[in-house]
Amino acid sequence: MTDRETTRLIVWSSELRRVHRRLRDAVRVTQEALSGGGDVEHVGRDLLLYCHGFCAALDGHHRGEDRALFPAIEEAHPDLAPVLRALEQDHSMISHLLTELRAALDHAVSTDDLDRHLGGIAAIMESHFRYEEQQLLTVLEGLELDAAVTDVLGPL
């Protein structure tokens, strides 16, 4: 294996960490916008903007993993199928929570309610990212996958 090939293989693990870091930053910025106070209508408008970007990025990340990354991992490491199914189940749960957050924003619920929705998403997301990194980073360092990073890990 050439140095260039080794570098490319290691990049998949680095790219996953980078995307997770950016998504963590996005949820933090959204939480800060919420904790900034103000009336629900104003906070809701700001959150709608932040949520659109954050929700689209998180959904895109999970769709890329489900469509491209996880099948490649499972082909190379069939023993990881139970781990991948658990991660896909997390993706479904997070998608449901994002839908509930969008609905809460549409109905202009209280900032406390919005904070609870966002806090739940942040907690599940963090647990999911840690588990995913623990289970897959080493595998990603040796994974041969010829695809664009944005197709595999989403728009971030």
As a residue count, the chain comes to 156
pLDDT tens track for 120-144? 999 999 999 999 999 999 999 888 8
More confident residue, 115 or 119: 119
Give the confidence band of 85 by pLDDT, cuts at 50, 70, 90.
Answer: very high
Of 88-92, 105-109, 110-114, give the range with the top mean pLDDT: 88-92
Q: Does domain 3-141 have CATH number 1.20.120?
A: yes
Give this prediction's pTM: 0.83
Residues in contact with 115: Cβ distance below 8 Å, sequence separation at least 6, in sequence order: 31, 34, 35
For the chain, which residues make up each domain, given as ranges?
3-141
Q: Which residue has the higher pLDDT, 117 or 41?
A: 117
Average pLDDT over residues 61-73: 94
Instruction: Provide the 10 A C-beta neighbour count for residue 156.
Output: 20
Question: For 56-65, 79-88, 139-148, which range has the lowest pLDDT when averaged over its residues?
Answer: 139-148
CA angle 133, 135, 138 (to 5 degrees): 80
CA geometry: angle at 90 spanning 74 and 125, to 5°?
A: 115
pLDDT at 125 (0 to 100): 93
Percent above pLDDT 70 for the chain: 85
